[in-house]
Amino acid sequence: MGGSEDLILREEMLPGVVRLCFNRPDKLNALSLPMLRLFESHLDDIAADTRVRVVILEGAGGRAFVAGADIEEYRGGRRAEFAAYQFESRRIFDKLEALPKPTIASVRGYALGGGFELALCCDLLLCSRDAQFGLPEGRLGLSPGGGGTQRLTRAVGRQTASDVMLAGWRLSGERAYHLGLAAVCCEGAELDGQVRTRAQAMLKVAPLAQAEMKRLMRQGFDAPLPVAQGFEQEVLLRLYATDDGQEGIDAFLSKREPRFSGK
């Protein structure tokens, strides 16, 4: 392996679709601080690039998406360094969740600890049947620090979240699908095709509408229903006044494919 730039591989899967691959297969793609910083750099580039419409995350090697943090970096009781790492991780995970473009987690094998938290930050999670999701920090005498206690509980409810964290159980790919945590669970050989199909479908939706709907789903979840509906109406009226809003209506009535400009 070369320099730190090899820790995450970037490629264009389709025009407008970028795939970021966590690339430490010998460590089951465990997150190191250099990897996290490189990941943030990619996120910043993607956020600024209007040509990129969809982002896919996956892990190299087929055995893991990301099997958590690199525990070697935890050794030694260095409290200041540990705290800095945790705050930086949380900030980067939040940046992934807030990215105003659709994100897809493509999960084979282990998605544990920080790897599970990364997947929970994505808009869509697709997994293979051999996927294993877990938050095993309690077995190290620790707790999740990248949003796992909160995002998982909101996604699947307190009972299942308690099973995963307080009893240390893992969720299989099938179980994640039946809980509504994963949109698709399939054989590993089918996963790339399923991801490609979802990404292609996302390219047909107006980018401004995607960004607003993504924000509404995240921010409105904990708001009282009337308040969240107020957010929704305000967004709809604003989108109606955009070029894309009028283009979508005109294309529908003209029975043609819309040509969205993101304006």
On whether residue 196 sits in a domain, the answer given is: yes
Per-residue pLDDT at 76: 73
Indicate the average pLDDT of the chain.
93
Q: How far apart are the first and last CA of the chain?
A: 42
Longest Cα separation, the chain: 66
Residue 130: CB atoms within 10 Å? 17
On whether residue 263 sits in a domain, the answer given is: no
Outline where 101-157 has alpha helix (H).
114-121, 148-156
The residues annotated with a catalytic role in the active site are 117, 137
User: Is there a single domain that holds both residue 179 and residue 216?
Assistant: no
**pLDDT of 79 over the 80 cut:** yes
User: Is there a single domain that holds both residue 188 and residue 214?
Assistant: no
**pLDDT of 1 over the 60 cut:** no
Q: How many domains does the chain have?
A: 2
Task: For 88, list phi and psi in degrees, rounded to 5.
Answer: -65, -40
66, 31 contact by CB (below 8 A): yes
**For the residues 180-191, what does the mean pLDDT come to?**
96
> Quick one: tokens of 129?
């049947």
User: Is there a single domain that holds both residue 18 and residue 86?
Assistant: yes
In whole angstroms, give the CA distance from residue 85 to residue 88. 5
pLDDT in tens, 188-246: 999 999 999 999 999 999 999 999 999 999 888 888 999 999 999 999 999 999 999 99
In whole angstroms, give the CA distance from residue 67 to residue 237. 43
**For the residues 243-262, what does the mean pLDDT come to?**
94
User: Is there a single domain that holds both residue 245 and residue 130?
Assistant: no
User: Is there a single domain that holds both residue 166 and residue 190?
Assistant: yes
On whether residue 259 sits in a domain, the answer given is: no
In whole angstroms, give the CA distance from residue 188 to residue 128. 5
In whole angstroms, give the CA distance from residue 126 to residue 103. 11
On whether residue 110 sits in a domain, the answer given is: yes
User: Is there a single domain that holds both residue 246 and residue 177?
Assistant: no
Per-residue pLDDT at 3: 56
The CATH number given to whatever domain includes residue 74 is 3.90.226.10
User: Is there a single domain that holds both residue 189 and residue 223?
Assistant: no
Which pTM was predicted?
0.93
What's the domain range around 114? 4-202
